[in-house]
Amino acid sequence: MGIFNFFTDQMLKMTWLSDLVTSFVENILKLDINSRLGGSIQFFIYDTIKIFIFLAVLIFFISYIQSYFPPERTKKILTKFKGISGATVSALLGTVTPFCSCSSIPIFIGFSNAGLPLGVTFSFLISSPMVDLASLLLLAGFFGMNVSILYVVLGLIVAIVGGTIISKLNLDDQIQTYTEHTRDLYSESENFNQKQRLNYAKEDTFAIIKNVYKYIFVGVGIGALIHNWIPQEAILAVLGHNNPFSVIIAAVIGIPMYADIFGTIPIAEALFMAGVPIGTVLAFMMGVTALSLPSMIMLSKVVKPKLLGIFIGIVTVGIIITGYLFNAIGFLLM
């Protein structure tokens, strides 16, 4: 237990980094971290450094794993499964793929063009941005391992159930041809040697950091603003326990945003520190990562409005149920 607590505190929560940044703000900048300005600067520096450390390590590790599952190999695996088993395998494979829905959609397009069952492809599309190894470790670092594991389990259930429902609705005629450029995902990586896999992981790490760093800065900035400048009473009036619609509001607020798990975490952390229930916080995160407006615009170019609406409806209901469930049992997890 001592080793586990050490790993959680020092490796995931990085309390050593928090102490170091606090010392810098108080002793070098001569600011009180309990003041608005000092607290904002401490939050911004600490969360930014922490997230970039997580980002580099996790993307490198997961990209290395992903090199064993290029789109062509994943297609071959998924063609062996149908129905709920296919949805389950697809959702699980989604956990070792890109970190945001805009990166997942090109793979979804490839699966659709390859003729994979519709339910299987949508289970992947739901799981990939919302549930991955990065979210497991990041959430553990901010909210604890119990919350992290249950989040991943429920996210997988949403993906499996969502894909299964879509497969039963016979909506294959709702797919349309996508002709625009999509990201090259190194389809030949299945035959890489170890040096090539390490280079692939390194290149993917730099590419993803280049694409998402601005969202991290924005996310941490918003988190610092929420944590130190917006009155807690105002936040709780909208998203607190006393508002029965808080989960729905949080999910809807998240949809117009675009960020991956790394850009969303600091906002979620600030909301949680302000007293927002954990289920409401996670509903916000799921809304951002799974249903962001830019991602839905891209998806609308490959699926027709009817299927797009059904997809959004299923995922939204799943997010809301998950949020209320976490709020109901959250006291057992923290």
Long-range pairs, 61-66, Cβ under 8 A, ≥24: 61/133, 61/201, 62/96, 62/132, 62/133, 62/134, 63/200, 63/201, 63/204, 63/205, 63/208, 64/197, 64/198, 64/200, 64/201, 65/96, 65/133, 66/96, 66/97, 66/189, 66/204
Q: What is the mean pLDDT of residues 55-83?
A: 75
The listed range with the strongest mean pLDDT (117-126, 127-136, 152-161) is 152-161
Q: Where residue 120 falls among pLDDT bands split at 50, 70, 90?
A: confident
Taking residue 199's Cβ as centre, other Cβ atoms within 10 Å add up to: 13
- Say which residue the tokens 């309390």 belong to: 15
* 81: phi then psi, degrees, rounded to nearest 5: -125, 150
Q: What digits encode the pLDDT tens for the residues 40-59? A: 899 889 888 888 887 788 77
Q: What digits encode the pLDDT tens for the residues 216-227? A: 888 888 888 887
Q: What digits encode the pLDDT tens for the residues 253-300? A: 877 666 666 777 788 888 888 889 989 988 988 888 777 776 777 778
| Average pLDDT value for the chain | 79
Indicate if the pLDDT at residue 8 is higher than 70: no
- Say which residue the tokens 């020092």 belong to: 10
Taking alpha carbons only, the member of 156, 168, 154 closest to residue 124 is 156
For residue 170, give every residue at least 6 positions away whose Cβ sits within 8 Å of its Cβ, in sequence order, or none: none
Burial of 323 (0-12, 13-18, 19+ CB in 10 A): buried
Indicate if the pLDDT at residue 22 is higher than 60: yes
Q: What is the mean pLDDT of residues 80-87?
A: 78
- Say which residue the tokens 């730099």 belong to: 206
Asked if 85 and 75 count as a contact pair (C-beta separation under 8 A), the reply is no
pLDDT value of residue 261: 67
pLDDT value of residue 72: 67
